[in-house]
Amino acid sequence: MKKALLTATVVASALTVSLIAAPAATASGWELPWSGHHQGQAVPFTEATVTAGADGSYTVKWKARGVRRVEIRANGKAVAKGGAEGRAVVTGLPAADRQWFDFTPDRGQGLRLADRLVKLEGAVNFRDAGGYRTAGGQWVKMGEVYRSDALDKLTAADLAVLQRLRVKTVFDLRMEGERTTAPDKVPADATYTVADVFAGSPSFLTRPKTPDEAVKAMTDAEKTMVSGTGGKAAYAKVFEGIEGAGRSRTVIFHCTAGKDRTGWASAALLTALGVPRETVMADYLASNDYRKAANDAVLSRLPAQQAAVYKPMLDVRPEYLNAGYDEVKASYGTFDRYLGQGLGVDARELKQLKKDLLVG
């Protein structure tokens, strides 16, 4: 198919759109789509992203198979039109908690996309857990499940945002001491549930003295998340809560930094839904970007030797997540057996979860 030349349609004086021919998109991993229209039809989009700029602009990219035209709409108005592959820079949109874009192809099911990060005053790693393409070509819905760092510093404005996002269920993956020192702030009408991943575990009871010890502590903790009694019980609660939320979903799961215990919750959910391992890893590693300023601030206040020991514990690294997958293989053989035997998610429940959270 000959690629259509991209054109811009300006629909309001406050809105400007810049469109340019797009190079082959790369799988950046975390700013991807969700839901759409025309249930039961295939989603032609193989790649699609929305990235919010610091200046209030939004860069939208897409690549779709077997289509000639794609229209992008925001706030009910067309903001761009293009061919099967394109890139658009949109400015002038009004402020919003999340700016959604509807990507509508001339055939097949559309997608609704937003930037992955939800900007809050009291949290730096609050982001959508959905928005990824599965190996089978479906997409994980956005706006249904969120992952976050601690919620104890949320402001009144932040809580208002969570209410507008329809947050109904919060799973706190932290230990008792963390919960006591920094209790969660949640919307008044949300259900709060403790799901302590390290309950009864010796993880982090002793402080590492060298960088190597710190790395080992992180990989050992990842294994405990998978096979420890507390980890199995906690993640079983999370899966049960997501699967049981139904139409009343939206769900948040979080720990202190939103990267390790939360990272495995997200990895387990995405893997169960059929998202490729490399995409799951990209989502996991994204915490390094979202938490960079906060982590740098912590390290800058420490003596060099102490910072060297502490840095591996602030990072997310491939070997940490891989340790979790290795533990699944060692303890259960397959991921499906981990879901069934470890978390109690049977075939019927997994099928329902996919029905609820996947489109296409």
Retrieve residue 291's tokens.
């938490």
CA distance 212 to 189: 44
Q: Are 267 and 274 in contact (CB under 8 A)?
A: no
Reference 141, options 296, 8, 261, 245; nearest CA is 245
What residues are paired with 103 via a beta bridge?
72, 111
The catalytic residue among 32, 221, 255, 267 is 255
Respond yes or no: is residue 159 known to be catalytic: no
- Helical H runs in the chain? 156-164, 176-181, 211-227, 229-245, 261-273, 277-285, 287-290, 292-300, 304-314, 318-332, 335-337, 347-357
Q: Are 172 and 311 in contact (CB under 8 A)?
A: no
CA distance 76 to 72: 10
Reference 343, options 255, 288, 264; nearest CA is 264
Q: Tokens 């199995």 correspond to what residue? A: 232
Identity of residue 217 = A
Which strands form 70-74's sheet, in the order they lie side by side? 77-82, 70-74, 101-105, 111-113
CA distance 358 to 355: 6
**Would you name the residues annotated as active-site residues?**
255
